[in-house]
Amino acid sequence: MAKNPAAGAAEYMLRMPIKERPDWEARADEFGFKFHSMYGERYWDERAYYQFSLQQIEEGIEAPTEDIHQMCLAVVEKVVSDDQLMRRFCIPLHQWDFVRNSWINGDPSLYSRIDLAYTGEGYAKLYENNADTPTSVYETGFWQWLWLKDNVDAGVLPRRADQFNSLQEKLVNRFKDLHTLTPDRQLHFACCKDTEEDRGTVQYLEDCARAAGIDTHFVYVEDIGRDAAGNFSDLEDRILSWMFKLYPWEFMFNEDFGSLLGTNNIRWIEPPWKSILSNKALLPLLWKMFPNHPNLLPAFFEDELHLADTSDSMVKKPLFSREGANISIVRNASEVASSPGPYGSEGFIYQATYMLPRFGDHYTLIGSWLVDDEAAGISVREDSGPITQDMSRYLPHIIL
């Protein structure tokens, strides 16, 4: 059982206003950060930062993050050996071997981000696990690190200000490990066309891989080809043998080339077993396996809602969704708040409502990063509504 972190840290983290760096846009150009604004609005917002104590970070976030990750791995272990659960998780029958073998073989993982509701006191609560295609890794690992360095160098923030963010260092080290585990292969990176955010994310990870001494290539997901033998290839006809894809497994499973998965000799990042963790069915199963764990919220499959012992409101989430799409808050069976989006045809789960902490007009969500199974830092995002969407704003943080 996790230690109660509330004992010593009985206060909220702080939201502190600060002047923007006068040259921040030039800095963004200099370092190729292109998606700091989207749809004409700010995504990166350095007009304020969040301030945590070291205790809030270490006891409230870092340790629970690693605990939650271990619980999640226990769920994967259970699901891969249970046909009924594989069905519950909507893993298509023709991909079961692919998913199972990747777990049994111990295919290594690179990174994950779990989303937490955390006020600074008490227990952080798990919202969901972005284990397959986590983004905002550049903003976290590099860009907010640079923000802190610039502000310390300028004397705006004190020298002893720190940040919970060893993400880049850990990513490079993890790539070195993966290189050792995957000798003599070149690593292809892939994402979809027409998304500057994904392209930037993948470029960042490619830079980290290169820093680890790996030879890399890039191919868009839509440009991936196949040869007569069923190998996948890039636009220069190089066979893909080691592949990072920022594209959800549940999409790939059912697309035209999905039937070739597992038939060709490719090492995948993230590995196929991550499809079990990025699936919202994870949440009810976690609650079943670790009932009343203080970092978990009660969660139920749709046909087990009667097990919920509360008439309180529940959050209805599609099994597969990204970036807060199609989430609704259900109170007395009426949907009081919902977000639009293209997900939901695979069914829903219900999670007890637990509001994000509010700072003024802002609702704040913590993304807690793992590299393999080590906690590696946080990202802080805020939104003007209680459901965090992909148009939420990213704010830096410090430890003081």
Question: Which single residue is written with the structure tokens 């976690």?
Answer: 286
Interface pick for another protein out of 254, 263, 355, 373 (rule CB under 8 A): 254
**Under rule CB under 8 A, residue 383 binds another protein:** no
Q: SS3 for 284?
A: helix
CB of 305 to another protein, least distance (A): 25
The CA distance from 197 to 44, in Å, is: 12
Q: Does 282 bind another protein (CB under 8 A)?
A: no
The residues in 283-322 that bind another protein, with binding defined as CB under 8 A, are 321-322
Three-state DSSP class for residue 260: helix
**Residue 235 engages another protein in binding (rule: CB under 8 A):** yes
Tokens 């943080």 correspond to what residue?
397
Residue with the two structure tokens 């696990």: 129
CB of 292 to another protein, least distance (A): 27
CA–CA separation, 121 and 5 (whole Å): 7
Beta-bridge partner residues of 189: 218, 244
The torsion angles phi and psi of 248, rounded to 5 degrees, stand at: -65, 140
Nearer to another protein, 11 or 223 (CB): 223
Site residues for another protein, window 7-46 (CB under 8 A)? 29-32, 35, 38-39
Residue choice 17, 155, 180, 184 for contact with another protein (CB under 8 A)? 184
* 279 touching another protein, by CB under 8 A: no
Does residue number 196 form part of the binding site for another protein (CB under 8 A)? yes
Q: Judged by CB under 8 A, which of 98, 118, 164, 350 binds another protein?
A: 164
State which amino acid sits at residue 161: A
Q: Which is nearer to another protein, 220 or 350 (CB)?
A: 220
Among 21, 226, 288, 331, binds another protein (CB under 8 A): 226
Nearest distance in Å: CB 113, another protein = 8
Q: What angle do CA 73, 132, 282 make, to 5 degrees?
A: 45
The one-character DSSP state at 147 is H
- Number of amino acids touching another protein (CB under 8 A): 85
Residue 338 lies near another protein (rule: CB under 8 A): no
C-beta of 363: minimal distance to another protein in Å?
A: 18
**Distance (Å, whole) CA 370 – CA 377:** 7
Which of 227, 302, 304, 373 binds another protein (CB under 8 A)? It is 227
Q: Which residues, in sequence order, are bridge partners of residue 359?
A: 362
Which residues within the stretch 64-83 sit at the binding site for another protein (CB under 8 A)? none
| Touching another protein, residues 96-155 (CB under 8 A) | 130, 133-135, 141-142, 145-146, 148
Contacting residue, 74, 152, 391, 400, with another protein by CB under 8 A: 391
- Subset of 40-59 contacting another protein (CB under 8 A): 54, 57
**Angle, to 10 degrees, between the axis of helix 63-80 and the axis of helix 96-104?**
130
- Dist CA 53 CA 72 (whole Å): 27
- CB hemisphere CA count around 253 (13 angstroms): 21
Measured between alpha carbons, how far apart are the two ends of the chain, in Å?
28
Closest CB to another protein among 147 and 350?
A: 147
Contact segment (CB under 8 A) with another protein among 79-87, 93-101, 167-175, 281-289 equals 167-175
Nearer to another protein, 142 or 293 (CB): 142
Among 17, 155, 340, 360, binds another protein (CB under 8 A): 340
In angstroms, the Cα distances linking 126 to 97, 185, 216, 270, 298 are 29, 36, 34, 21, 10
Instruction: Determine the Cα–Cα distance for residues 75 and 348; give it in Å rounded to an integer.
Output: 18
